[in-house]
């Protein structure tokens, strides 16, 4: 296995398995991943995470968010919209609302969406996820069930 150099200083990195907050990388406040293998710079710069692990984290996070019962916040709305690769305009059309409403939610101008809007967003995103999972013959249920218990307000915990 090739050990990458630090993208900041060029120093050879060390492979470590541990707990990391990848939330800022995903545009969220906090996504703590346990047992995450990463290449860490001894100088304290950013850790390098494999693309495969990052794809698994993003899928599991989206699956968990669609099954949550708490109201969605702006960061979560933006994350889910971007995960299904839609513009604000496309997402608004899917939900039967305006692009301005989606923009307002994502900018956190509404701290928490009402329960009905949160449910509508989760349902729309779950539908897209299920269609994609069916095409790839992937079962999303274990992802969401395993990570659901780790949800707290503004923080998600995922175990790799």
Residue 59 is predicted with a pLDDT of: 87
140 confidence band (pLDDT: 50, 70, 90): low
Flag whether 1 is in a domain. Answer: no
| Mean pLDDT for the stretch of residues 18-40 | 89
Residue with the bigger pLDDT between 160 and 94: it is 94
Flag whether 104 is in a domain. Answer: yes
Flag whether 51 is in a domain. Answer: yes
Residue 1 is predicted with a pLDDT of: 60
Domain count for the chain: 1
Q: Answer whether residue 146 shows pLDDT above 70.
A: no
| Mean pLDDT for the stretch of residues 19-38 | 89
Domain containing residue 104: 14-159
Q: Answer whether residue 135 shows pLDDT above 90.
A: no
User: In the chain, what percentage of residues exceed pLDDT 70?
Assistant: 88
- What is the per-residue DSSP string for the chain? -PPPBPTTT-PBPEEEEEEEE-HHHHTSS-EEEEEEEEEE-TTS---B--HHHHHHHHHHHHHHHHH--SPP-HHHHHHHHHHTT--HHHHHHHHTS-HHHHHHHHTTSSSS--HHHHHHHHHHHHHHHHHHHHHHT---HHHHHHHHTT-BTTBEEEE-
Q: Answer whether residue 158 shows pLDDT above 80.
A: no
Residue 121 is predicted with a pLDDT of: 96
Residue 149 is predicted with a pLDDT of: 44
Residue 145 is predicted with a pLDDT of: 46
Residue with the bigger pLDDT between 148 and 134: it is 134
Residue 88 is predicted with a pLDDT of: 97
Flag whether 8 is in a domain. Answer: no
CATH of the domain at 65: 1.10.260.40
């Amino acid at each position: 296995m090739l050990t990458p150099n630090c993208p900041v200083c060029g120093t050879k990195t060390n492979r470590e398995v541990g707990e990391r907050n990848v939330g800022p990388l995903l545009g969220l406040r906090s996504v703590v991943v346990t047992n995450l293998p990463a290449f860490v710079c001894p100088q304290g710069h950013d850790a390098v995470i494999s693309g495969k692990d990052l794809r698994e984290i993003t899928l599991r996070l989206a699956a968990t968010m669609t099954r949550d019962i708490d109201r969605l916040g702006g960061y979560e709305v933006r994350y889910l919209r971007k995960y299904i690769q839609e513009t604000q305009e496309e997402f608004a059309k899917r939900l039967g609302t305006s692009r301005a409403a989606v923009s307002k939610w994502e900018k956190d101008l509404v701290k928490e969406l009402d329960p009905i809007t949160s449910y509508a967003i989760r349902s729309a995103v779950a539908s897209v996820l299920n269609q994609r999972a069916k095409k790839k013959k992937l079962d999303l249920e274990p992802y969401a069930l395993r990570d659901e218990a780790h949800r707290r307000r503004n923080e998600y915990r995922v175990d790799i």
